[in-house]
Structure formats: C-alpha cells, structure tokens
Amino acid sequence: MSERTVAVLGAGTMGELVLAGLLRGGHPAGRALATARRPERAEQLRATHGVRVVGNAAAAAEADVLAIGVKPQDADALLTEIRDSVRPGTLVISLCAGLTTAFFARRLPEGTPVVRVMTNTPALAGAAISAISPGAHATDEHVALAEELFRPLGAVLRVPEKQQDAVTAVSGSGPAYVYLFVEAMIEAGVLLGLPRATARELAVQTALGSATMLRESGEHPVTLREAVTSPGGTTAAALAELERHGLRAAVLDALGAARDRATSLAQQNT
C-alpha cells in the first residue's frame, strides 16, 4: 500500500478516520490526498494530517486508491465529477451505507474495481469492525488492499455484499445503540442518587468490562448473563423489567428499521 497514492474523497468523520488510520499505519503523508467541500475543512485536514487537499477530479486523476467518504445522497454528484478523471485499474472503495458496488460501477469507467466497506466510529480508538465485500471487478488483491487500509482502524472481516445492509444495522449503526444504553444507565444512576461522575465511571467501565468478557471468554452472552443473575436477586429483578418493557423486541425492530433504511438508500440511489 505504501507505494500507492490513496485519496479520501469527502473527508468527513469517517473519511478522516480512514486517513488517520492510514498515516498511523506508516503510510507516507506525501502519498495521501484528501478532498473537502469547505475551505476551512480543507485547512483543518492539511494542518492536522500534513496531507495535500485538492479537488475531487485532481485527486481521482492522481490516486491509485479512492476511498469515497461522502454521504450516500452525495455520491452520485461526486462520481459524475470524477468519472472522466479516474484512470483504468484505480481501486474505488466505498464507505457509503446502502449503496451497492453496482451503483459505483455504473458511474465509473468500465471495469473499475469497487470494494464496499462498512466500518464504524470506534475506529477513533483503533477498535472498529470493518466488513469488506468485493464488487464485480474486484480481485482478491483488491480486497487485500482494502483490508490493509482498514486494519489500522481495528478488526476486518470479509462478508458477501448481500449481507452488507444487515452488517450496517448491527455494527455500522451499532455504536449508537450502545451509547444510548450507557447514557440511560448513567441517567438511572443519577436518579438513584449517584453523583453524575460516579454514575458515568460505573456505566462506562461496566460496558467495557462486559465487552472484554464477551470477546476474551468466547462464551455465549446467555452464559455470561446467567453468571450475574442470582436467584431472587437484584439482576433478575432488573432483567424482568427490561423484558416487560420489550427490550428484546425493540432491538429486533430497531435493527430491522436500520437494515430497511440502508436498502431504501440503495433504491433511492440506483
């Protein structure tokens, strides 16, 4: 990867995380480009990362790998802008929720390899999970390049493209569900009389510890939950309330809604 020039087109929240990961992984800043819509944003990217910030067409003409970090609704306009500048064999990597590799292929020169990646914001802490799917013209080598680009952000895995909308529902949007749950635990702690700082420390460390246990023990969540739940005890009382309020059904419906939204983004942007 280090001998290739990588451009992040639309370096917003996710694009900047990809850029930062690339540079953290030792990629020379001289071989990294970014594009931005606002001049202040361009200046910020230059100052923070020491990369060149250029126009979309110039980036597309120079780079060997293009990471597309714009919102799904902005992808069509961006692709129209760069189409005539993309060189044969340039690898295009989409970060966009919902949009298919076929959407990109239709708007790029014939045969352009496209790889679709769904990552998530814990990339900021090197703890993302990035799911990678090759499009029609992407080879194993292209997927390996995408893996190399996303590995500094955290874990990577390959998934068939037809699973990407479900992946988006689970892990792409997933951090928001976890933050909501932790936020609710903090508020509940405050309601029970704990100082806010104490409630925050207890809730955050409990989320971190529980996630660490899930990963390191390899146990099923049910087994870990049962180990916390004493007969007639406090946890059983709490879990009964969560079930009574339909937590499980709410999660099923929420992830279904996220998946459906990803699918409709694709339908609105064919």
Known binding-site residues for NADP(+) equal 9-14
12 touches ligand NAI by CB under 6 A: yes
168 touches ligand A1CAB by CB under 6 A: yes
Tokens of 179: 């933050």
Query: Contact with ligand NAI (CB under 6 A): which of 97, 167, 169, 203?
Result: 97
Residue 120, burial from CB neighbour count under 10 angstroms (0-12, 13-18, 19+): buried
56 touches ligand NAI by CB under 6 A: yes
In the complex, the smallest distance separating the C-beta of residue 71 from ligand A1CAB, rounded to whole angstroms, is 8
Query: Contact with ligand A1CAB (CB under 6 A): which of 33, 97, 123, 146?
Result: 97
* Cα(133)–Cα(82) distance, integer angstroms: 23
In the complex, the smallest distance separating the C-beta of residue 131 from ligand A1CAB, rounded to whole angstroms, is 11
* Cα(245)–Cα(247) distance, integer angstroms: 6
In the complex, the smallest distance separating the C-beta of residue 60 from ligand NAI, rounded to whole angstroms, is 11
Check: CB of residue 34 under 8 Å from CB of residue 18: no
Single-letter code of the amino acid located at 141: E
Q: What residue has token string 């499980």?
A: 248
Over the window 134 to 153, marking each residue x when it contacts ligand A1CAB by CB under 6 A and - when it does not, the resulting string is: --------------------
83 touches ligand NAI by CB under 6 A: no
* Cα(100)–Cα(262) distance, integer angstroms: 10
Q: What residue has token string 């064919």?
A: 270
Select the binding partner of residue 91 from ligand NAI, ligand A1CAB, none (C-beta < 5 to 8 A, by kind).
none
Query: Contact with ligand NAI (CB under 6 A): which of 69, 122, 154, 189?
Result: 69
Query: Contact with ligand NAI (CB under 6 A): which of 4, 61, 62, 121?
Result: 121
Beta bridge partners of 129: 155
* Cα(95)–Cα(115) distance, integer angstroms: 9
173 touches ligand A1CAB by CB under 6 A: yes
- Return the percent helix, strand and coil in the chain, to nearest 5: 60, 15, 25
Query: Contact with ligand NAI (CB under 6 A): which of 36, 92, 105, 114?
Result: 36
Check: CB of residue 117 under 8 Å from CB of residue 14: no
25 touches ligand NAI by CB under 6 A: no
In the complex, the smallest distance separating the C-beta of residue 94 from ligand A1CAB, rounded to whole angstroms, is 12
Beta bridge partners of 94: 68, 116
Tokens of 129: 């999970």
Q: Which residues contact ligand A1CAB (rule: CB under 6 A)? A: 97, 168, 172-173
Summarize as ranges the residues that interact with ligand NAI (CB under 6 A).
10, 12-15, 35-37, 41, 56, 69-72, 74, 77-78, 95-97, 118-121, 172
